[in-house]
Structure 1
């Protein structure tokens, strides 16, 4: 298995999801605060998938 650096789009989506999760942990946001763990998992999976796939 060969790992590639993630594309800028995959990296930015991951950063946005992780930032929303952190904001939901600090301040009470209606839907986000209840799903912080799932947002962090989604951010990690987007970043991991971006590293595994070429050109994504």
Structure 2
């Protein structure tokens, strides 16, 4: 994985893959949101959740 120490520019349109471990119930809930059309796919959900948290933390 590449270093992102100075890559906080939101205009940077390159994306890296990140692997996370989650509880089964979390994965099932995300899958349900995707199936219901709330998000196009799991990646979109994760990007949205991360963006929301970064904004809440004023990053």
TM normalised by structure 1 equals 0.36
Which protein has the bigger helix share? 1
Task: Choose 1 or 2 for highest CA Rg.
Answer: 2
